[in-house]
Chains A and B, each alone.
Chain A
């Protein structure tokens, strides 16, 4: 009998698949902490979909830290190709092992610093990344094809150009972190001089990596789109403009795929979905300027429609499953969880209105507020909790009317 067919394993899998969210986060944390995961990976396999939604912080490993600046470029191996401006997931471990060997004790020192820390520790990522990324850029360029490259499923000739791109991008990892940090979470406009310097450095290191760097910049700091066309007027200006076009097309192609926008909107909490919707909407706005070709404008319209539909679907499901069901369920409702759901719904709705009509949201929010304000709910919620939920969903005036 194989492990997969073992009735005990099957029963355990079923139990895990039906576990509540906090338990799932704990189970995954335990599996993440195992030195050798083996069968445990099979057990959490059915959770991958829900993990994408929960997005718990993951342990900060050497490989995860190394590719942190390039995270948005990583794709499953079957979707990778030399001209796809991306990095195949199967290449990460061989390259990380190669970098680790080349860095020797410096790599061990980083391991010590990140031990038992998670991806939520952004300060540590920036600090350790400042040491790791430039060193890794040099190591990737200098070394031969990694010994374990065969495991990637790609030919040895695929390594050199990919390594050159990765090295060029990692070389600017710290600069991109600094650029994003300097905007103070988008409160300040990005610094054009810094952007120009990053692009010039990438162009000098490996021109084919430019579209990937631009994709990183657009995803990380969407306001860069305004600055990018004028950021580089030097000898690499033509290459930068061409790369920008290519990067924009690549980003739009990713969003235009079957589950392009849905994957972003379905992931994380409702608030995360709202943030993702806002980021995509901002990116679409930035790419929809006077210079956009008619084909691009058509594509932008299509993506907006998809985004609008995905937002409405997530909102409707979220309202039902994360707010109304717990509110009316048999267990006592957890007020903090309900408030988080209500807040997430409003964040999603506010961002979604930027790409679509608001009528559906108005109607659903009004219905939810009425349901919460109705007297049967009062037996399950304290008056003040009822008031606060209505305030989040329908605004202070509706909430004050409950107190009148």
Chain B
């Protein structure tokens, strides 16, 4: 174990999601579960789980990471891009990671997957803008109350939308152009949530389904044999998944409720743009880091690999910050604020040496499977 000389922070109980940091999809095995957050002097700093599987985290600048491991080119390029971000949140980090993957630094499969994801994102973004504008038009324009304005964007639709914005802008205390910008911003922010009630194709509902599927599979597998769990790790992971799913579902419902009144949402945005956009991005914050955990389980094809996956999943379980109680009014189990279970691991050798090459390849495959 080469990391013993590094300063280990014994506990990591972040009060806010910002202080928890955002999960970074590094492919270097020893950086698994690493998060990035704004550190002192506004520079990004990393929060890295103890690679041995024990308690505690390392908090360090990028320059210090080399004391822990030799990061790969993908990770170096990704971190360089992170240093240029205006803000560090799950959405901007995802874009940065897609950009690096698109350049091919995570391999050709991840590059192809990133291209598809970006195309799908653009299509969903355009659809979200249109659906939001349609909903607003339906709500405001009495002439359209007989049904949807249009099933596709036409010149006539744009004319009516423009007229509508010009008409309502004085009541909102701003210009029509400002309202149009607001709708664009809200469309971008809410596209991953899905504008239409019960929509399941957007990124957040799909991620919620993936989380629920994985939890169900784990629970079934744990029930199938008393030997399947490893010292309670499986139950810890499944419980954390269940709590996270409930919280994210609550936030999704809140976001969709806000969307049911597009005029009120737009008014809210004019008054407080950041808070309004945050209604949508809270789902991303709560679910941040869980996609990789689900994918680890989904890739495990047999019992030995499932146990290995559980060990790995348990080491990177996201801690739930107390801030979530302000967002949801729901109490969360104390265990979720410090879920780091006593992971049974002798050292971090399994991530070094020959195994390291296989793990990098696996991590790149996970990048290709990510959305």
Contacts and interface: CB of A to CB of B under 8 A. Distances in A.
Contacts of A400: 73, 76
A278 B356 CA distance: 14
B60 interface: no
Given A346-B357, A347-B358, A391 B72 contact: yes
A387 B104 CA distance: 10
Most buried by A among B105, B109, B305, B357: B357
Interface in B105-135: 105, 107-109
Contact of A188 (B103, B344, B357): B344
Contacts of A182: 227, 304, 307
Contact of A274 (B105, B307, B354, B361): B354
B197 interface: no
Contact of A123 (B72, B109, B301, B358): B301
A291 B137 CA distance: 85
Interface in B72-87: 72-73, 76
A227 interface: no
A400 B76 CA distance: 9
Interface stretch (B10-18, B152-160, B281-289, B345-353): B345-353
B350 A186 contact: yes
B335 interface: no
A350 B353 contact: yes
A384 B103 contact: yes
Contacts of B311: 184, 187-188
Given A388-B104, A388-B105, A403-B73, A183 B357 contact: no
B71 interface: yes
Interface in B321-350: 344-346, 350
Given A188-B230, A274-B354, A388-B105, A122 B70 contact: no
Contacts of B302: 122-123, 126, 181
A347 B104 contact: no
A333 to B, nearest CB: 12
A156 B105 CA distance: 63
A275 to B, nearest CB: 8
Identify whether the interface residues of B are mostly helix, strand, loop, or mixed: helix
Nearest to B310: A184
B286 to A, nearest CB: 29
B154 to A, nearest CB: 42
Interface stretch (A86-94, A97-105, A203-211, A335-343): A335-343
A260 interface: no
A355 to B, nearest CB: 13
A358 interface: no
Contacts of A339: 107
A385 B104 contact: yes
B303 A126 contact: yes
Interface residues of B, number: 31
A178 interface: yes
Contacts of B104: 382, 384-385, 388
B43 interface: no
Most buried by A among B109, B230, B307, B344: B307
Contacts of A171: none
Interface in A348-392: 350-351, 382, 384-385, 387-388, 391-392
B304 A346 contact: no
Contacts of A189: 346
A343 B107 CA distance: 13
B361 A343 contact: yes
Contacts of B71: 396
B308 interface: yes
A395 interface: yes
Contacts of A384: 103-105
A185 interface: yes
A102 to B, nearest CB: 28
A336 B345 contact: no
B303 A123 contact: yes
Interface string B290-311: 0000000000011111011011
A187 B108 contact: no
Interface in A184-198: 184-189
A396 B308 CA distance: 27
A69 interface: no
Contacts of A122: 301-302, 304
B73 A347 contact: no
Nearest to B69: A396
B307 A181 contact: yes
Contacts of B305: 184-185
Contacts of B303: 123, 126, 181
A42 B365 CA distance: 39
A397 B301 CA distance: 34
Most buried by B among A185, A274, A391: A185
Given A126-B303, A385-B104, A396-B71, A187 B350 contact: yes
23 contacts: A122-B302, A180-B304, A181-B304, A184-B308, A185-B304, A185-B305, A185-B307, A185-B308, A186-B350, A187-B307, A187-B308, A188-B311, A278-B354, A343-B358, A347-B357, A350-B354, A384-B104, A385-B104, A387-B73, A388-B104, A388-B107, A400-B76, A403-B73
Interface of B: 70-73, 76, 103-105, 107-109, 227, 230, 301-305, 307-308, 310-311, 344-346, 350, 353-354, 357-358, 361
Interface of A: 122-123, 126, 178, 180-189, 271, 274-275, 278, 335-336, 339, 343, 346-347, 350-351, 382, 384-385, 387-388, 391-392, 395-397, 399-400, 403
Given A182-B307, A385-B104, A388-B107, 20 more contacts: A122-B302, A122-B304, A123-B301, A123-B302, A178-B227, A180-B304, A181-B302, A184-B304, A185-B305, A187-B308, A187-B345, A335-B108, A336-B109, A347-B357, A347-B358, A351-B354, A385-B108, A387-B73, A388-B105, A395-B70
